[in-house]
Amino acid sequence: MLRSHYRQVIRIHEERHKQKDERLANLISKADSASPEELLVEVRRLAKQQQRMVTAEQWQAISEFLRTIPYDERRRLSFINIKFPYQDLEAEKYAEYFARVFDGTTSKDGKIGLEVTGLIIRVRDTGVVPLAARDLSAALKAASIGHRISSLELQFPIAPSFDFELVIGRND
């Protein structure tokens, strides 16, 4: 069991490095013949693979949004559980930003694999999205932070003390 987990972690890192190496090689090969627009697109793709972070402006936008909702609703956004994949340092650092913003806790989940990308507000049932999850979604939108709401299956169910979780997938 543990060996298969480490194999998956190694596979994830190898795949990421392979993709970055291929994109960089592609950019270098195009450097002499590509248009500036084509090079810009490639550079932006490579830049997307860098460390995600919550900027000061995004933090401010979230804070301003939170002040617009009633106190009881705002309290439900405290102590968010934030999950990220094992051995993904980039996702772990991104999770730590959100833990500071929302006074949350972070934990690793072994079922967050290569197919899980971006930011996901995980709910038990997408037909009944809790108010706090909707408020979190609105706060992220106010800060122009891309995300989606899903009932994603992971290693552990959402704890009974939480209405939802924030899942940090790999940086795509």
Reported pTM:
0.71
Same domain, 72 and 155: yes
d(CA 119, CA 123): 13
The distance of Cα 81 from the centroid of its chain, to the nearest Å, equals: 13
Same domain, 67 and 133: yes
Same domain, 149 and 82: yes
- Domain span at 37: 2-48
Q: How many domains does the chain have?
A: 2
In the chain, beta strands by DSSP E:
81-85, 105-109, 119-123, 148-150, 164-168
Same domain, 73 and 119: yes
Same domain, 99 and 142: yes
Same domain, 38 and 114: no
pLDDT tens-place values along the chain, 172 residues long: 444 544 554 565 566 666 667 767 777 777 677 777 877 777 766 665 677 888 889 989 999 999 999 988 888 887 889 999 988 888 999 999 899 888 888 999 888 887 889 999 999 988 999 999 999 999 999 999 999 999 988 877 888 888 899 999 988 7
Is the separation of the CB atoms in 132 and 110 below 8 Å? no
d(CA 45, CA 28): 14
d(CA 140, CA 52): 14
